[in-house]
Structure 1
Amino acid sequence: MNTSVSLSENMNSFEKGNGFFPDDVVDQILARLPIKSLFRFKCVCKFWYRLPSNKYFIQLYNEISLRNPMVLVEILKSVYIKSNFICTDSLSCFSEFSLDFLSDRVKVRASCNGLLCCASIPNRGVYYVCNPMTREFRMLPSRERPVSRYHPDDEATLVGLAVDPYTQKYNVVLAGFYRPFGRRPLDCLVCVVFNSETNTWKRFISSAGDGFTHMNRNQVVFASGSLHWLTISCLYILVLDLYSEVWKKIPLPGEIVNSYGRGNRIYLLELEGAVSVIQISADWMSIWVLKDYVREEWLLADRVSLRCIKAFIPSAFPISQNRDFVFLATQRQILIYGRRNKVWKELYSVRTATAYPLWFSAHAFRSTLFSCRQNLEYC
């Protein structure tokens, strides 16, 4: 009798849009399913049919997903053929999909909390934000192009995507350099920011700037309400505060700065909501975390021996991580390192001879029910 009353109250709570009780066992089980399986089970009953659109369940699913990072790999067979994507997690669970629902040839420019920012290849200046798991997408509105020597509308030097799973809002940042006429040689940074809440772009100019290689300009991390890029000098991180619209710099740890250029490589990643830097040398991989964001204090979180994968060290590229695992992409393999059991494992390997290097097309990813559509109202 008590069980039926509890179930009835739970159903009434769902009908009113208040969600489920946090200790609901079914809720916790379904929140750990892949999105494809979750949508397949919608035909079981009306109760489960409404589940993926319930606000409480979306928040629960996203919170669980934040603790389970994944790696998204774009399989580039040819520049004339649309790419396929493979997504894998620490349990070697694979899911394959494409971006054909965009009806456009695109390339992925940024990834954040389950959403992708894609740039159209045939149509310059056209950008999309999509959730590849739910196949929802949003084409960003066109922008007024200012009359200047350079504007970051066609092909931005820096592209950033900031997705806040708690407020259900996101921002897209396009930034590029230009040199004003009639002035001394000074590169200014032109930046346009898209706000999903207002559906508008905002443009501003800053004198802060630095050089970026092709790889580190694509390593963008969203943390503490800011977007972060690693500069080519590897002396500091360039930060864009999305609230104050101000650029600033965070210096890297002194140990990294002093040893850079001696065969060491630096990579910028995210570690469970914090900014992280990974340094790879000939035999070691050091993981640093920005412990205090205000005081700019770094902490050496882990130091991993690379003797077991010595043949892959020259092409090892860290992609994603959490407190338990580190995902790395090489020329043809996706590797995972268990920080607790200290075991290396191969998750994926390319067998074809025409494939591009995986580290060139791998992105950090999470499975999420976050919707990128405009004016979406939850049940």
Structure 2
Amino acid sequence: MACTQMNCSKNGTTSAADLTDDLIIEILSLLPVKSVCRFKCVSRLWYLLISQHRKRLPQTISGFFYPKHRYNNEDGLIGFPTFDGISGDQKQLFPDSSLPFLTGYRQILPKDCCNGLIFCLCWKDSPIDEADYVVCNPATEEWVVLPDAGHKSDALAYRLGFDGAMSPHFHVFQILEGDEDYGYISGVNIYSSETGVWSYKENGWGDNEIQIVDMRGVFFNGMMHLLTCEFKILAVDTEGKTWRTISLLETMCVGNICLGPLAFIGQSQGRLYFINMRDNDSSKLSVWILEDYNGNEWIFKYSISTSQLFGKLFGEKDHMLQRDYADLLLQRDYALVAIHPECNLIFFVWRCKDVLLSYDMDRGKVCVICSLKYHLYDTFPPYLPYVPSFLRIGKPRVEA
């Protein structure tokens, strides 16, 4: 476009002042959350512009969804989602966090969450013995009922994959069991919201005797990553064409007696993290970063003393309790649930107190975020980190 058709500076370039508000917001939507927050300080005009269009801009973690159970005279114990925000201005993000827009269901159990979308198992009002798998966006109240996967093998797990920066379409990975006695993976069934159908792929990892750890997967670089009991991370893309195995550098403890995972994978700042309680040393958590994703190069980043971690919560007067029971508490009543996507902050649940806590790995600071709403589980329910997304997830394909 010639300079006679738009305002240009003397050297032929367009200044920011010449851009429309919509174009500025479109550019800002491609940037990380931290950058957008910094740009609010440029001027009062930019502050108002970003504040007014915040729904179109990148979001950060707002809190956690998890199942809350209540007693119903007709159905007994039933479950619905509940939400806890991690800051004061986010506590009312969902006045009713039970996802009431999902109509026709008597029970809704959140199972997985990825970049603003939630994967739920929803039991119908009628017939009461039938259920749907549903993917929904709580921010836009859109939802998609998944069709029957059409596979006879039992499912070991379901994992949700979505990255609005890469595609408006989501995928659900159904991990299939090959041997019911051992829980080995036989293959992966992949649902695409773009096509509205499932696609089955046989196990492409070259190992027929692998078992996954019962925890959330990580959707990263367009691939679903799964932690296994064999000290490896498995990855598969959304089309089942690329299969990767990423070896870990140390043995790990994958669970505690309350079924909270002590080994954890997540992503932050564009890199994959592995956090682990060593199998032979329960007094420390080690934190590894996959510095070179393509070259499988792990870098050791932090060593976290569990005594220090829980000692900060006990207080100065409880040094004896700190020394004697910190490791035991960690193994019995603790579960890592998330890592912050923009900083070295991890979140974990301390079940004996029913509190959600954060730990700043750079500063060594522990913070109690909130008391969790009462639940009736004897084990750890899934705490799903939620990052609001206002992208439309589309509708299921209607067959002719």
Please give the TM-score of this superposition, normalised by the length of structure 1. Answer: 0.72
Tell me the secondary structure at the aligned position of residue 50 of structure 2: helix
Q: What is the aligned-residue RMSD (CA, Å)?
A: 3.6
Report the CA distance between 1:289 and its aligned residue. Answer: 1.5
Distance 1:359 1:30, change over 3 A: farther
Matches within 5 A, 1:115-130: 115-121=117-123, 126-130=132-136
Tell me, yes or no, if structure 1 residue 10 matches structure 2 residue 20.
yes
What is the CA distance between 1:209 and its match in structure 2?
A: 4.5
Does 1:374 find its partner at 2:374? Answer: no
Unaligned runs of 5+ in 2: 1-6, 8-15, 29-38, 40-45, 311-325
Q: Does 1:355 align with 2:351?
A: no
Deviations 1:317-355, CA, capped at 9 Å, x for gaps: 111113242110121111111234322111122475x63
- For residues 99-118 of structure 1, the aligned pairs below 5 Å read 99-103=99-103, 104=105, 105-118=107-120
Task: Output the TM-score relative to the length of structure 2.
Answer: 0.69
Q: Deviations over 1:293-316 (max 9, x none)?
A: 111111122222322412741222
- Of structures 1 and 2, the one scoring higher in RCO (CA 8 A, sep 6+) is 1
**How far apart are the structure 2 equivalents of 1:10 and 1:370?**
22
Following the alignment from structure 2 to structure 1, what is the Cα–Cα distance between the partners of residues 291 and 202?
30
1:174 maps to a residue whose letter is Q
Match of 2:247 among 251, 255, 262: 251
Letter of the 1:10 counterpart: T
Q: Is the 8 A contact 1:158 1:218 kept in 2?
A: no
User: Aligned match of 2:67 in 59, 74, 82?
Assistant: 74
| Amino acid in structure 2 at the alignment position of 1:279 | N
Structure 1 position 161, deviation (Å): 1.0
- Provide the secondary structure at the position in 1 that maps to 2:194: coil
Larger radius of gyration: 2
**Aligned counterpart in structure 1 of residue 334 of structure 2, from 286, 291, 316:** 316
1:363 Cα offset (Å): 1.5
The answer to whether structure 1 residue 326 and structure 2 residue 346 are counterparts is yes
Residue 339 of structure 1 aligns to which amino acid in structure 2?
M
Q: What residue in structure 1 maps to residue 386 of structure 2?
A: 365
Residue 279 of structure 1 corresponds to 276
Q: Which residue does 1:35 correspond to in 2?
A: none
Matched AA of 2:337: I
In structure 1, distance between residues paired with 2:197 and 2:296: 32
**1:342 and 2:364 correspond:** yes
Kept in 1, the 8 Å contact 2:185–2:210? The answer is no
Q: After the TM superposition, which of the residue ranges 268-277 and 329-338 deviates more from structure 2?
A: 268-277
Residues 301 and 361 (structure 1 numbering): CA distance in 2 closer, same or farther, change over 3 Å?
same
Gap runs ≥5 in structure 1 = 33-51
Contact 2:253 2:276 in 1 (8 A): no
Alpha-carbon contact 1:284-1:304 (below 8 Å) kept: yes
1:266 equivalent to 2:263? Answer yes
| Number of aligned residues | 321
Identical positions, percent: 18
Specify the code of the residue in structure 2 equivalent to 1:197. E
Change (3 A) 1:278 1:90: farther
Aligned-partner Cα distance in 2 for 1:242–1:132 = 23
Structure 1 residue 169 displacement after superposition: 1.8
